[in-house]
Structure 1
Amino acid sequence: MNGVGIAGALTVELGGEPLVLLPQKAAFWPRERMLIVADIHFGKAAAFRSFGIPVPKGTTTENLLALDALIELTGANHVLFLGDFLHARAAHAASTQAAMLAWRRRRCELVLTLVRGNHDKHAGDPAGELGIDLVDEPWTVGPYSFCHHPDIAAPGYVLAGHVHPVYVLATRSDALRLPCFIAGPTRMILPSFGAFTGGHALRPEPGERVWVSSGEAVHSVR
């Protein structure tokens, strides 16, 4: 079924609750008005440039604009990051921090929570001025245990990231890699939300469901 009137979204039941899968590679939990985002990797491009690798600028702004659009679209009052908020210590660069702090001042009413991921441990916690509640995995609210790593033992249905899953749709002459949500009986892995983060092709296990995002809509493929 369509997700709470959002174009291209799909509502599924996971952990006994309706959860809206968004074509913008995030999920929305209507009961809690919570926007759930995995692997945004702020500062990844800056980290590459610090090693002299020429990569595009503007990914921080792109990520923040994408968050803004989804907050407006869903009416979320809580944004939950499933780990890897910062990519590396280079994400503490003045320009990256200034953009994030300016965004936070405009979004001061939002509750922000970060479930620490492996990159966060190396990058260090976000600046305190961002007002982000920092928690370790698993962080359980209602039926869901929010994690970064998908295979961690947890009391609830796990929603996780870390893997950056994509699904390959192939014909005899061509193939298309699309970001995907992949769900089994005890956990779902969300696609990477961040710009400039890449993806890892996954082969679903028996009994797992897969939904791909075309960028405009979420589609079930198995």
Structure 2
Amino acid sequence: MMALELEVAGEMLMLLPQKAMYWPSNSTLIIADIHFGKAATFRRLGVPVPHGTTAQNLELLDELMMLYPTQHIIFLGDFLHAPDISAATLQSLLNWRTSHPALEMTLVRGNHDVRAGDPPQELGIHIVNEPFRSGPFAFCHYPDVESDGYVLAGHVHPSFRLSGRHETLRLPCFLIGTGRAILPSFGAFTGSYTIKPDADEQVFIVAGDSVIKAV
């Protein structure tokens, strides 16, 4: 897979086709909107959605940590989708955490985290409110938080519409502006929102195994 390197706020960041961001100088993965437990919540409501999304999300995190040396994961909000997380989902998370005992994890609370409550203490996650400052960056859930740092945020689940003569295609994207960047949602079952970039914003599309700049 081909990541795209981009200098942001004086630091090199990597936009990853797995819909995550990597900060090499701090060995940090940045993940937005993973929404653990969302599919199970929908199934309890009678909506026929796929099984296995928790395992898929965790396997993808493992894949990323194998590809990119990772000491720290920062979750930009919406770690849990709802308060009634299933026992199976919780056990999967605990098993995964046990296999990464030295990994530092930070969760910046998002709107779903407020409703779902903080993850169990056994997961060993440092839980903070936005903005969480590290280096030149302000890690947030909401993109419009005021901060003197460069804001890295989620919440929007951005996607970009590509139009051809007869067809249109909507793909997840990174939205990079002069004072903030919005990451695509990482979760396997999260949906998206079609964005219209401002004049000072660039769109980088997740297209299969690559991240490419929209023209």
CA distance in 2, matches of 1:71, 1:80: 13
1:174 aligned residue (163, 167, 186): 167
Does residue 89 (structure 1) correspond to residue 83 (structure 2)? The answer is yes
How far has the Cα of 1:189 moved from its partner?
A: 0.1
What amino acid sits opposite 2:140 in the alignment? C
Q: Is the 8 A contact 1:88 1:119 kept in 2?
A: yes
CA distance in 2, matches of 1:190, 1:213: 11
How far has the Cα of 1:215 moved from its partner?
A: 2.7
Residue 95 (structure 2) aligns with: 102
Residue 59 (structure 2) aligns with: 65
What amino acid sits opposite 2:174 in the alignment? F
- Deviations, residues 107-129 of structure 1 (Å, cap 9, x unaligned): 11100100000000000110110
Does residue 9 (structure 1) correspond to residue 22 (structure 2)? The answer is no
How far has the Cα of 1:177 moved from its partner?
A: 0.8
SS of aligned partner of 2:84: helix
Moved over 3 A (4+): none
Aligned residues: 215
CA distance in 2, matches of 1:124, 1:107: 23
Aligned positions of 1:53-202 closer than 5 A: 53-91=47-85, 93-202=86-195
CA distance in 1, matches of 2:192, 2:25: 30
Does residue 22 (structure 1) correspond to residue 16 (structure 2)? The answer is yes
RMSD (Å), alpha carbons: 0.8
CA distance in 1, matches of 2:157, 2:204: 14
CA distance in 2, matches of 1:86, 1:146: 18
2:34 aligned residue (17, 22, 40): 40
List alignment gaps of at least 5 residues for structure 2: none
SS of aligned partner of 1:207: coil
TM (norm. structure 2) is 0.98
- Deviations, residues 21-72 of structure 1 (Å, cap 9, x unaligned): 1010000001100000000000000111121222111110000001000011
Q: Is the 8 A contact 1:163 1:189 kept in 2?
A: yes
How far has the Cα of 1:90 moved from its partner?
A: 2.5
Q: Is the 8 A contact 1:82 1:148 kept in 2?
A: yes
How far has the Cα of 1:183 moved from its partner?
A: 1.0
CA distance in 1, matches of 2:164, 2:66: 37
How far has the Cα of 1:156 moved from its partner?
A: 0.2
SS of aligned partner of 2:98: helix
Identity, % of aligned positions:
54
